[in-house]
């Protein structure tokens, strides 16, 4: 009976662990008043007030302008003025349709799938992308990690998919699944890189589960500094798969080390005033000026290092202190970037470069986790074109600039084969937004 129950439970968990479409709020950190939408690929039907069709087959060369008017949205398409409505929807007429969003504040971005627009009480537009789950994931991977090898993207896709499936209800009260910021997962554009799409496709249906088949928490950070942290040292719960592990792969990477200089007076008075530490006690003083961490510590004089990290906006809690008496400063020598729990992205990049298999890398960072393949996985529609994507990646490696003749090719347009430099610009820009400190409530 018990066995039957656990099999049923496992089956339920497995069946629940995939999704078709997700609703993602775009530009969720910006106030958008006016939005201009143009069309890069395919045609869209424009609806207002739920089912009222305003115009069908809107495509390249046309643009939809939406702006608030009183408590309603004013809609026009090129020179045609349609009046005001409570909500607007742009529905893709085909699987591959691309919208280009140009808000009056905020950067231009492109997305696939449908768009729902309404007005928030604040007067800002609420823009929600209703998109295929795997298409969303590829966009997340592009926004969350850098690198050149497809296994890097495969790994990021697995942990991002696991997180998303576990957190589908995160913004339920707001009427959508996720925001597009690191509060959920960054989704700053649709995926325009064939190599990232390939990594995401290779990971289709793969998630990380615990020994009972339940999806695990998959926190990640930029760089562990050489040692990851236990979950309970950063948040509350001690999770068996989020254990501190030695991580030499993170050493010698971009975010491995940091230095911060603080005036000694400010440093000491912070502990005296904020934490009521007696700084005239010689033992306390010695600790505050000469604290060292060979391995990750959790507290300094009883104060959580996570609190000190937030108060001083440090890159990590993994630091040691040195005094510069001549200048009257303390110098913090730190390792890593981020909370340190779970997967180190730069450690992952290094491990992939060393040829370590992707499943071993995941097991290195998530102790005892099991890689699960969902046989019912909803795959990305571009998966049918894997061979052609492989060809594009190969051509991409060999050419500095894409030929414009590709413009009419369907896949070429999907990956927006613009100048290579232009693509790398989007990529580098997103790389900077790489700090992951999700606020976990466990």
Binding site for Zn ion (CB under 5 A): 179, 183-184
In the complex with Zn ion, the residue whose CB is nearer, 112 or 180, is 180
Distant-in-sequence, close-in-space partners of 156: CB < 8 Å, separation ≥ 6: 140, 141, 144, 145, 199, 220, 345, 348
Residue whose C-alpha is closest to residue 137's, from 152, 154, 117: 154
Distant-in-sequence, close-in-space partners of 137: CB < 8 Å, separation ≥ 6: 157, 160, 161, 164, 200
The answer to whether 201 and 382 have CB atoms below 8 angstroms apart is yes
Rounded Cα–Cα distance for residues 54 and 119 (Å): 19
The answer to whether 241 and 216 have CB atoms below 8 angstroms apart is yes
Closest approach of Zn ion to the CB of residue 179, in Å? 3
Closest approach of Zn ion to the CB of residue 374, in Å? 24
Rounded Cα–Cα distance for residues 309 and 58 (Å): 51
Q: Which ranges in 17-132 belong to alpha helices (H)?
A: none
In the complex with Zn ion, the residue whose CB is nearer, 76 or 181, is 181
Closest approach of Zn ion to the CB of residue 90, in Å? 23
Work out whether strand 329-335 and strand 257-263 pair parallel, antiparallel, or are unpaired.
Answer: antiparallel
Would you give the DSSP letter of residue 30? S
CA distances from 350 to 152, 159, 248, 257, 416 (A): 9, 17, 10, 16, 29
In the complex with Zn ion, the residue whose CB is nearer, 178 or 249, is 178
Closest approach of Zn ion to the CB of residue 197, in Å? 24
In the complex with Zn ion, the residue whose CB is nearer, 183 or 333, is 183
In the complex with Zn ion, the residue whose CB is nearer, 47 or 111, is 111
In the complex with Zn ion, the residue whose CB is nearer, 174 or 353, is 174
In the complex with Zn ion, the residue whose CB is nearer, 54 or 184, is 184
Closest approach of Zn ion to the CB of residue 162, in Å? 16
Closest approach of Zn ion to the CB of residue 287, in Å? 38
Q: Name the phi and psi angles at 440, rounded to 5.
A: -80, 145
In the complex with Zn ion, the residue whose CB is nearer, 184 or 332, is 184
Looking from the CA of 28 toward its CB, the CA atoms found within 13 Å total: 21
Closest approach of Zn ion to the CB of residue 441, in Å? 13
- Can you spell out the DSSP letters for 119-136? E-TTS-EEEEEEEEHHHH
Closest approach of Zn ion to the CB of residue 17, in Å? 20
Closest approach of Zn ion to the CB of residue 31, in Å? 17
Q: At what angle do helices 264-275 and 282-290 cross, to 10 degrees?
A: 120
The answer to whether 258 and 316 have CB atoms below 8 angstroms apart is yes
Q: Which helix (H) or strand (E) holds 345?
A: helix 345-353
């Amino acid at each position: 009976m018990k066995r039957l129950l656990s099999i049923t439970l496992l089956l339920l968990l497995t069946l629940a662990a995939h999704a078709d479409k997700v609703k993602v709020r775009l530009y969720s950190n910006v106030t958008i008043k006016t939005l201009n939408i143009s069309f890069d690929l395919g045609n869209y039907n424009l609806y207002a007030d739920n089912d009222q069709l305003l115009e069908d087959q809107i495509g390249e060369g046309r643009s939809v302008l939406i702006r608030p008017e009183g408590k309603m949205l004013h809609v026009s398409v090129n020179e045609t003025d349609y009046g005001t409505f409570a909500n607007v929807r742009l529905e893709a007429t085909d699987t591959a349709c691309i919208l280009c969003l140009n808000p009056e504040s905020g950067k231009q971005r492109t997305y696939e799938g449908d768009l729902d627009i309404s007005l928030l009480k604040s007067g800002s537009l609420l823009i929600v992308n209703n998109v295929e789950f795997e298409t969303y994931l590829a966009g997340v991977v592009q926004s969350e990690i850098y690198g050149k090898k497809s296994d890097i993207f495969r790994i990021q896709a697995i942990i991002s998919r696991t997180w998303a499936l576990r957190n589908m209800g995160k913004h339920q009260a707001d009427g959508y699944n996720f925001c597009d910021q690191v509060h959920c997962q960054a989704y700053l554009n649709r995926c325009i890189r064939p190599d990232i799409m390939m990594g995401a496709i290779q990971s289709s249906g793969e998630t990380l589960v615990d020994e009972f088949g339940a999806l695990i928490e998959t926190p990640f950070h930029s760089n562990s500094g050489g040692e990851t942290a236990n979950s309970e040292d950063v948040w509350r719960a001690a999770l068996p798969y989020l254990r501190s592990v030695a991580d030499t792969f993170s050493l010698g990477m971009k975010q491995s080390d940091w230095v911060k200089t603080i005036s000694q007076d400010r440093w000491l008075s912070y502990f005296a005033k904020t934490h009521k530490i007696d700084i005239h006690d010689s033992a306390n003083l010695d600790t505050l000026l000469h604290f060292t961490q060979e391995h990750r510590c959790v507290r300094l004089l009883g104060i959580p290092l996570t609190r000190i990290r937030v108060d001083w906006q440090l890159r990590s809690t993994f630091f040691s202190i040195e005094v510069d008496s001549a200048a009257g400063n303390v110098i913090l020598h730190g390792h890593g970037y981020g909370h340190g729990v779970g997967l180190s992205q730069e450690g992952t990049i290094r491990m992939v470069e060393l040829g370590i298999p992707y499943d071993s890398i995941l097991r290195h960072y998530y102790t005892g986790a099991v890689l699960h393949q969902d046989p019912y996985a909803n795959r990305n529609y571009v998966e049918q074109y894997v061979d052609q994507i492989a060809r594009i990646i190969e051509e991409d490696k060999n050419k500095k600039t894409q030929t414009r003749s590709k413009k009419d090719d369907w896949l070429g347009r999907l990956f927006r084969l613009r100048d290579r430099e232009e693509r790398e610009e989007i990529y580098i820009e997103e790389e900077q937004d790489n700090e992951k400190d999700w606020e976990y409530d466990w």
